[in-house]
Every structure is written in structure tokens, then in C-alpha cells.
Structure 1
Amino acid sequence: MVMLLLKCLLLFYLSFNELTTAAEAILWVKTGEKFTRKCSTTLKDQNGMFLYVGLDREVLYYYQRNSKLTPREGYRDRVKTEGPVDQLTITISNLTIEDTGFYRCIYTKYNETTYENDINQGRGSTLVVVNANEKPCPSGVVNVIIISILTILLCVIFLIWVAPRVKRCCNFG
């Protein structure tokens, strides 16, 4: 029960995190299952596409020129792709709890003169929560967490913004 509550709190926190403003979906999957992520771009002449989980853990790199897929350690033999790089569908199979996180696609355009990426583009992210047998957070628990966080936030706003103004007002009188 404690782990379920911690997962609910993590999910709630991440839902207000900057990374989730473009979140497309939250997927709840069991260990051993698979999930599919669709990546697309309007970027022209891109060199390739990275799939990341979390802030910086690279899952794979797909090189446009030779259609070469390079899965990173821990993802080899579990990743498959379909379609052209600008409309790529990626499937990761045999998921483990360590695969939980935000998955996002980043398209790159490499400048051969400066040897740097000129453009990075990506749209949306997918939160994948991998668990063994537990069900997703019950809506009642999520509602209690939301109400609690909002109450704390309102108290902080009151203390930071309203209380000093009231004190200044009372000092003038």
C-alpha cells in the first residue's frame, strides 16, 4: 500500500512538472508487456531521432541516412521500429519496472560545418508506468492528494503575498 501511495505521489508530482505539459498519455503496463510510442516531426532534412526516457537516459538512436537503428544497452533485442524516421513507430517489449518514466522523441538536424546539432525538435511525451500486479492509483487517492497539494499551495501563497501586505497596512494605521 505504501508503494502504491508513493507511485501516486510521484505521478501527481510529475503531472505538474514542466516535462508533462506536453504529455500525450499515461500508460499503465505490467512487467513483461510492451508499449508503442509514435514519433513524428515537421523538421525537414533531419539526420536522425533519439528516444529518451527520463531526463537523459537514451533508449535508441535512429540514423536517417542508412535507416540504422542503434538501441542502447538494456534495450537491445527489445526495440523495434516501423515507418520513415519522420513518422516513426517504436515498440519496446519485455518491459521491466526500471523502464518506468517519460519517453520523448527528439529529432536532430546536424550542421556539418560547426559539427553541432542546429535544430532539436520533439513533441509530447508519454509517461509509462510499469508495475508488477498493482493497479493504477484509485481516483479517490488522487483527489485527496490534489486537494492536499492545492491547500498547501494556497497557504504558501497567502504567507508570501497576502501576509506582508496586511502587515504593511496595519503598520501605517
Structure 2
Amino acid sequence: MGRKVLVLNQDYTALAVCSIPKAFLLVYLNKADLVAESENEQLHSISQAFPMPSVIRLHKYIYMPYKGVILSRQNIFRRDHNVCQYCGSKDDLTLDHVMPKSRGGRTTWDNLTTACRRCNSKKGDLTPEEANMPLRSKPFKPSFIMFLRDLGGSLESSWIPFLGKREKAIF
């Protein structure tokens, strides 16, 4: 049961992703409604079968003042699909400042990218243009919905009405 369940707020906006046991418990305790269930699978007890949740909606509205994605090493790697943005390697990954810190570059979503050690060393204190190392994709700050949608790798069809289809980013 490694699959995830989309959790919606009372107003049907995407709130989070949780495990199947957690989602089932919320529905069983009448804290959430089952909005969509798995078509092929069920949860079984000794004497009963229950629908396996795919999307649930909370009964109580949860106020979320800011739904942003935290800037972290893992989240940069996830945004860049664990691939060096210079050569495409998946080995020995590090973070690289597109505009080097020594030249005023800041630690922001728009200035950090995934790079393998070899490319990071080769680029050094230069910009990608100066090092003649073009980026495969321009760094960007992902939205909360985009991050939820892309978190698990595969987007469940029952989530599409609430998150939208995954579009290939063009940079």
C-alpha cells in the first residue's frame, strides 16, 4: 500500500497527500467524505470489504495561510527530476548556484539547480553562458498544486479534476 490519497479541504481545494490507512481512518471516523475510490482495489477486514480511498474531502475547513513549497535540497532535486541540468547525469548530484554566490547569486528557487559534481566543478565560479554549459531547464519556484501533483510520480486519474493534468514544462 505505497499509494497515496489526495486530501481536499471542505471547499474541494487540494490540501495534502496522505497514506491510504490515514485516509481510511479519517473516513471511518466521519472526519472526511470519500470523494473517489480505487476502481480495482478494496480494503478488507476479517468480515467486510471497504472501498480503497483515492480522494477524500475533510468535513471541517482547515485554514492554510500560506501553501508554499519549502526550499530544500530534496525539493530542488525533485523539481529537477534528480537529473543534472547541465549533462543529464543521475549520479553524484549536488546543488549549483546558476549565478555564483561569489558574484552576488542568492540561494533562491530561481538561482538553484541540480548538477553532478563533475559539471559543478567544471562550471566553477562562472555563469552557464560563460562556461558554455547551457541549462536543460530554467530554474523556477514550483506552485503548491504542482508539487502535490508531481509528488508521487504518477498522477491518478481521480486527482485530475482537483489538480489538473501534468503538463510538460517548456523552458
- The TM-score bracket by the shorter chain reads under 0.3
TM-score (norm 2): 0.24
Query: Which protein has the larger Cα radius of gyration, Structure 1 or Structure 2?
Result: 1
**Structure number with higher strand proportion:** 1
**Structure number with higher helix proportion:** 1
Report which structure shows greater RCO (CA 8 Å, sep ≥6). 1
